[in-house]
Structure 1
Amino acid sequence: AKLKGAKVTTSMKPEYSCAIANIGFENWKANEIEATLYAKHKIHSSSMIIKKVNGIRVTPNVYTNLFDLDLLVKGLTTISTSPAPIGE
């Protein structure tokens, strides 16, 4: 899926690969992404704001079914096409 404004900060090098991904979106704070995914889709993630990383960490594993992965993609797609919440 193409996600408008998405920034993936996960290394694609095989020696660093595992079931962890970090994704953020332009104009969205990590905690806003995390809260939106949980409120609208009941998807748990962890927000990370460290140095140049501003995104959520998702960690699918062998027990994650295709329905849940599709739900994650749907949630991220919705965020990518929505304006960021008006922050404080």
Structure 2
Amino acid sequence: MAKKNRPRAGHNLPGTQGKSAADRPATLKDLLDPEILNKLKTQQAELEAEEARRKEEKRRQEEEARKAEQKRLENDFEYLLNKSNQDWRKFK
């Protein structure tokens, strides 16, 4: 038994064909000058780069703080004693 060819919803409807760019509603991109649009794009790129720099700087500061804390703990005898293996028979 062969399948019947049924028109798909939204395809080949009389009102959807032949719409040109002039018939569609205007978008903000269409209304803005290309010069203003380019300025906005460069400003967006600058802001994204600044945000990436801030995140990298924050990550670097946190890493330095962790290293400083680890170095401080390695000089603390009580911390080292608590962290060390208490099975002294291995070291005879």
> Per chain length, whose mean CA-contact separation is higher, i.e. which structure has more relative contact order (CA < 8 Å, sep 6+)?
1
Q: What's the TM-score, normalizing by structure 1?
A: 0.24
The structure carrying a bigger strand percent of its residues is 1
